[in-house]
């Protein structure tokens, strides 16, 4: 069997597939876990309502989404979206000593997706940017310093645990710096505290993350927490101050404001009609490559369907129905780490995307 015949077979195999299934790269987007007082039916009903709110926040990238007039009519019967419930123990939080009872609620993906479409809500795809996070504190007796696992061993309540919970509730992946000698030489504490964006960006390059966050804070003599965060992602930088009164958990509110702002660059509003884009991929030279390309597109909620438009040598051209437009699809494919963009500005404007396949 000749090479040309094999390529035709590969193309026919791809034509048989339709990408209507949605695969998650960040797990747990359609489930919520909330603390409840007990296992009574009243507590369960309240927990289901709060878990649905939690899921909508994770999926839309907006912490205030449940206050939207478009959403409120759908919240009157949250049980209509429930796929399963169960109770489990939660570890003690910063404000509690004993473990808490938690209600874990799984929601119907089909039902929630339909809600989002009908309410015309934004969607933050599961293929989300992984962020590098620098956290600093100005301690009254110890001075300024980065927060890492070592410093946290002496800290109560744990700042890192609070940050981790807040990021998990938003479904946002992140990593922390190694704080090794290279980090110390490339970014000093005072430079990071001053939020010198260019220096933070340079120090972050070694981690090959999709963006970075710098968050600093200190506590006043009255117990008020004051701070600021700065992030860079998707070619955008944003800076904002925050403060929290004595006794209030500041990290959750700070992270919510940060993620709300950051998510704006990655969300899209699902439409009934989609946009057909032409995606040309070079270097697809084997059946394994074809399968890998197919799996990549199946992992993107943006992609509704695709057809093979053409196969020539090792060049595969796909006609893709995608929500959100060319720029959002382009960004998602680049973030996958499996495609190297060859697309120019004209291509983004006309919906003609070009990539090189990266074999690993």
CATH number at residue 188: 3.40.50
178 & 259 share domain: yes
Looking at the structure, do residues 110 and 162 belong to the same domain, yes or no?
Answer: no
In a domain, 124, yes or no: no
pLDDT at 131 over 90: yes
Among candidate residues 240, 263, 286, the one where a domain is terminated: 263
Structure tokens at 186: 């490339």
Residue 288 within any structural domain of the chain: yes
Does 65 share its domain with 111?
Answer: yes
Last-in-domain residue among 263, 294, 326: 263
Q: Which residue has the higher pLDDT, 24 or 6?
A: 6
**Whether 297 and 206 share a structural domain:** no
Pair (258, 184) in one structural domain: yes
pLDDT of residue 8: 46
Q: Three-state DSSP class for 4?
A: helix
CA angle, residues 355, 358, 360, in degrees to nearest 5: 165
- Decide: helix, strand or coil at residue 290: helix
**Is 125 within the bounds of a domain?**
no
Confidence at residue 96, expressed as pLDDT on a 0 to 100 scale: 55
pLDDT of residue 19: 34
Residue with tokens 């899209």: 268
Judge whether 54 lies within some domain: yes
Rounded distance between C-alpha atoms, residue 41 and residue 43, angstroms = 5
- Asked whether 275 and 322 are in contact (CB, 8 A), the reply is yes
> pLDDT band for position 12 (50/70/90)?
very low
The Cα-based distances of 325 to 11, 277, 338 in angstroms read 25, 8, 20
- Report the pLDDT averaged over residues 323-328: 86
- Location of structure tokens 């980090």: 183
- How far is Cα 148 from Cα 255, in angstroms, rounded to an integer? 17
Residues 6+ apart with CB under 8 A from 121: 56, 59, 60, 65, 68, 70, 71, 115, 269
Local confidence band at 94 (pLDDT 50, 70, 90 cut-offs): low
Q: 220 and 198 share a domain?
A: yes
Mean residue pLDDT across the chain:
87
pLDDT at 289 over 90: no
Chain centroid to CA 341: 21
Bridge partners of 232?
Answer: 212, 237
More confident residue, 192 or 323: 192
Q: What CA–CA distance (Å, rounded) separates 187 from 204?
A: 9
Instruction: List the beta strands (DSSP E) in the chain.
Output: 31-36, 82-90, 100-107, 131-139, 143-146, 174-175, 211-219, 225-233, 236-244, 275-282, 303-312, 315-322, 339-341, 352-357
Statement to judge: residues 187 and 310 lie in one domain:
no
Confidence class of residue 282 from pLDDT cuts 50, 70 and 90?
Answer: very high
pTM of the complete model: 0.74
Q: Is residue 246 part of a domain?
A: yes
Q: Which of 287, 276, 277 is nearest to 13 (CA)?
A: 287
| Contact between 64 and 94 (Cβ < 8 Å) | no
Per-residue pLDDT band for 312 (boundaries 50, 70, 90) equals confident
Closest CA relative to residue 255, chosen from 138, 167, 354, 355: 167
Which structural domain, as residue segments, surrounds residue 59? 31-118
- Are residues 105 and 167 located together in one domain of the fold? no
Asked whether residue 18 carries a pLDDT value surpassing 70, the answer given is: no
Within a domain: 349: yes
* 157 falls within a domain: yes
Element (H, E) at 160: helix 159-170
What's the average model confidence in pLDDT over 245-250? Answer: 82
Q: 228, 247, 263 — which closes off a domain?
A: 263
Sign of the C-alpha dihedral computed for residues 329, 291, 336 and 253 taken in this order:
positive
Domain count, the chain: 3
Residue 230 vs residue 305, higher pLDDT: 230
Instruction: Establish if 83 belongs to a structural domain.
Output: yes
Are residue 177 and residue 279 in the same domain, yes or no?
no
Q: Tell me how far apart the alpha carbons of residues 262 and 129 are, in angstroms, rounded to a whole number.
A: 10
Q: Are residues 145 and 259 in the same domain?
A: yes
Locate 41 and state its tokens: 């039916």
Q: Are residues 218 and 291 in the same domain?
A: no
Least confident of 159-168, 297-306, 309-318, 335-344: 309-318
144 lies in the same domain as 248: yes
């Amino acid at each position: 069997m000749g090479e040309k015949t094999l390529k035709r077979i590969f193309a026919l195999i791809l034509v048989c597939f339709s990408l209507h299934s949605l695969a998650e790269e960040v797990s747990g987007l359609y489930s919520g876990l909330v603390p409840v007082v007990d296992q009574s039916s009243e507590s369960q009903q309240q927990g289901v309502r709060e878990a649905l709110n939690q899921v909508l926040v994770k999926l839309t990238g907006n912490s205030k989404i449940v206050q939207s007039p478009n959403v409120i009519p759908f919240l009157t019967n949250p049980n209509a979206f429930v796929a399963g419930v169960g109770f489990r123990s939660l570890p003690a939080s910063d404000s509690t000593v004993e473990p808490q009872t938690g209600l874990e609620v799984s929601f119907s993906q089909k039902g929630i997706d339909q809600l989002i479409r009908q309410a015309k809500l934004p969607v933050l795809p599961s293929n989300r940017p992984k962020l590098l996070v620098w956290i600093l504190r100005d301690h009254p007796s110890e001075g300024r310093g980065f927060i890492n696992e070592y410093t946290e061993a002496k800290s109560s309540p744990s700042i890192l645990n609070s940050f981790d919970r807040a990021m998990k509730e938003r479904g946002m992946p992140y990593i922390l710096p190694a704080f090794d000698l290279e980090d110390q030489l490339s970014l000093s504490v005072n430079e990071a505290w001053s939020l010198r964006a260019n220096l933070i960006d340079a120090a972050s390059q070694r981690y090959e993350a999709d963006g970075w966050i710098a968050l600093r804070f200190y506590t006043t003599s009255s117990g008020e927490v004051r701070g600021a965060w700065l992030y860079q992602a998707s070619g955008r930088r944003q800076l904002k101050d925050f403060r929290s009164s004595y006794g209030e958990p500041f990290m959750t509110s700070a992270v919510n404001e940060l993620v709300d702002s950051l998510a704006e660059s990655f969300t899209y509003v699902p439409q009934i009609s989609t946009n057909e884009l032409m995606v040309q991929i070079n270097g697809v030279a084997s059946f394994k490559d074809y399968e890998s390309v197919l799996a990549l597109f199946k992992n993107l909620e943006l992609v509704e369907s695709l057809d093979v438009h053409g196969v020539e040598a090792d060049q595969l051209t796909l006609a893709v129905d995608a929500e959100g437009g060319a720029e959002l699809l382009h960004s998602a494919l680049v973030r996958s780490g499996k495609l190297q963009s060859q697309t120019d500005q004209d291509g983004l404007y006309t919906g003609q995307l070009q990539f090189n396949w990266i074999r690993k």
